[in-house]
Each structure stands twice: as C-alpha cells, then as structure tokens.
Amino acid sequence: MAHRRIVLASSSPRRQELLSKVGLDFEIIPAEFDESAVSGAPDQVVKALALEKASEVARQLGVGLDAVVIGADTIVYIDGKILGKPADDREAGLMLGMISGRTHVVYTGIAMIDTLTGKTLVECEESRVHIRELAPDEIAAYVRTGEPSDKAGAYAVQGVGSVIVDRIEGCYFNVVGLPMSRLALMLKEFGVSILG
C-alpha cells in the first residue's frame, strides 16, 4: 500500500472502523459546519456535503502538505424527503414509522482532495434498502436501545437495526456509511492502493 498521509474528515465510528479493517493508516480531523445550509437533489446534497467536509479539513491542513483528505456524508431518502439524524427519540420513532414496510434509498457522497496538487474527486453511491413491516412496540423497543439517535434514517444496518432490514439492493457498506469498493477505486486515483 502506498504510504501517503490519509485524513478522514469525519468523526463517524462506523467509517473509522471500515477504514481500519482494510488496513488503511489514517488520522481523524472532523469537519465542523452547518449541514442544514445545503439543499437540492439527494445525490447532489451528499456530494456537496462531502466536498464541504473535505475542503474544510484541507484548508486547516494548508496548501503544500502531502495528504489525501476524505470527506463523506450519508443520507436516507424517501417520499421526496431527506432523513438525516433524528433530533430526539420522538423523531427517531417517526422516521422508523415512515420507512416501515417500505423501500428507501441511501446515498453516500465521497470527496477526496489532494492537498499537494489540489486534485479533487467527488462521487456518489446509492443503495435501495427494504425495511420489513414494524409493529409500534418494535419501533418503541428499537428507539429505547439508543442506537437510532445518531444514525441517518434512525437505524444502523450493522447493529440491532439489522433485524429490521429485509434486503438491500446495491452496496451494503454504503448503507453503513462508506461504500468501500468505490472508495478503493477513488484512492487509486490518488496513488493509494489498498490491495498493494
């Protein structure tokens, strides 16, 4: 694997775990900004947010430093609405009720910036997720686990939420928050090869 400084512009434990599992050596500098200011089509929103995160951290690092900054953003989209992270348990329950027995789309935008050259790449992955019909007591019990509180769409496919997911069309890791196959192909464009 090529050794360049890799910086993840995210504090997401899921993204950190996925990068660690493939042996990528990286550091974390979370981006902080108001995500609600971005609107539009879901694929454009996640690309814009991912780019904003990567750009903010790249600015912090400064020009001329040899690093690749990775920004990512994931949303759930249903009925023309973007479902981000629920504000509280009540909103988590409403979101779970909205996706119960239905199909929604998960979009993840990935942005990479080479701080040495300024090269920038922004892409989007989408997956369709089918949620089984949920009884009100199941929704309440799941909300009580606390898992939905910091997840887009109020569920975690890799956790207790796995029991509510009927099937996925597309990349599973996209639903977790980072489409790994696409990420690997993008990193190759910056001289970083995960498979040597």
- Please give the positions annotated as active site: 73
- Could you tell me the sign of the dihedral formed by the alpha carbons of 148, 149, 152, 154, in that order? positive
Q: Which helix (H) or strand (E) holds 130?
A: strand 120-131
Residue reference for tokens 């909300």: 143
Find all residues with CB under 8 Å of 168, minimum gap 6, and list them: 127, 128, 129, 130, 157, 175
Backbone phi and psi for residue 41, each to the nearest 5 degrees, phi listed first? -65, 145
Find all residues with CB under 8 Å of 65, minimum gap 6, and list them: 5, 115, 116
| Residue type at 41 in one-letter notation | A
